Structure 1
């Protein structure tokens, strides 16, 4: 498939796809005319790379995963210790973020309840004030 087709399928810009190749995150085949040719497996690789970017990983960290993770990129047969540590650290980060968001949610719910209580308790007096 052409780069434009891959871009459309994944929602990733052609510029980003070229950048991924430049950084060694993907390895498209080259046709005789020099055009890049992406096979169907590249779709999942691109989606996985996007996931890693969304998790806050750097290009260098993603490259380590690309080079070591056979589940993402099956041509590699090793799982590097660094990748496992990276996964575990990122999982801890995600768990911290979830806990922070739960706390923020709880505080917002409490404030909403207090504002609603205040509205109910002052609603009668406001309605009374407007009629005078």
Structure 2
């Protein structure tokens, strides 16, 4: 299938598909005219990439776990590398949440000060 068809079948933009290929997450054959051509497995590959992007992983991180087998009905990988990566990502997200909560608390204090002076 052509890149346009792959984009339609996965909901990914053509630009994203080209990027996935550029960083080594997706492979395409080439027609004699230079057009990219994908086989049916590309749909599952792109959906796997989207799954990982949706949990906050970057393409470099995804590249390290692309070969992990997955449970399709659960949309999750079955390798220890992915488990460890998920743990690290969760810790990063929790740090960000803690930081944002501290900022929100300070902002609320400042708003309270404004309201008390009015």
> Normalising by the residue count of structure 2, what TM-score does the alignment of the two structures yield?
0.62
Counterpart of 1:14 in structure 2 is 14
State the Cα deviation string for residues 63-110 of structure 1 (Å, max 9, x = none).
1123xx2526xxxxxxxxxx623423415739x98xxxxxxxxxxxxx
Counterpart of 2:83 in structure 1 is 87
Structure 1: tracts of 5 or more residues without a match: 73-82, 98-132
Question: How many angstroms apart in 2 are the aligned matches of 1:53 and 1:28?
Answer: 20
Structure 2: tracts of 5 or more residues without a match: 71-78, 95-118
Aligned residues: 85
Question: How many angstroms apart in 1 are the aligned matches of 2:85 and 2:53?
Answer: 15
Equivalent residues in 2 for 1:40-51, closer than 5 Å: 40-51=40-51
Relative to its length, the structure with more helix (as a share) is 1
Question: How many angstroms apart in 1 are the aligned matches of 2:69 and 2:30?
Answer: 24
Counterpart of 1:121 in structure 2 is none
Counterpart of 1:32 in structure 2 is 32
Higher-RCO chain (CA-CA 8 Å, sequence separation at least 6): 2
> Normalising by the residue count of structure 1, what TM-score does the alignment of the two structures yield?
0.56
CA RMSD across the alignment: 2.5
SS of match in other structure, 1:32: coil
Segments ≥4 residues shifted beyond 6 Å: none
2:65 touches 2:81 (CA, 8 Å); kept in 1? no
Equivalent residues in 2 for 1:111-130, closer than 5 Å: none
Counterpart of 1:5 in structure 2 is 5
SS of match in other structure, 1:65: coil
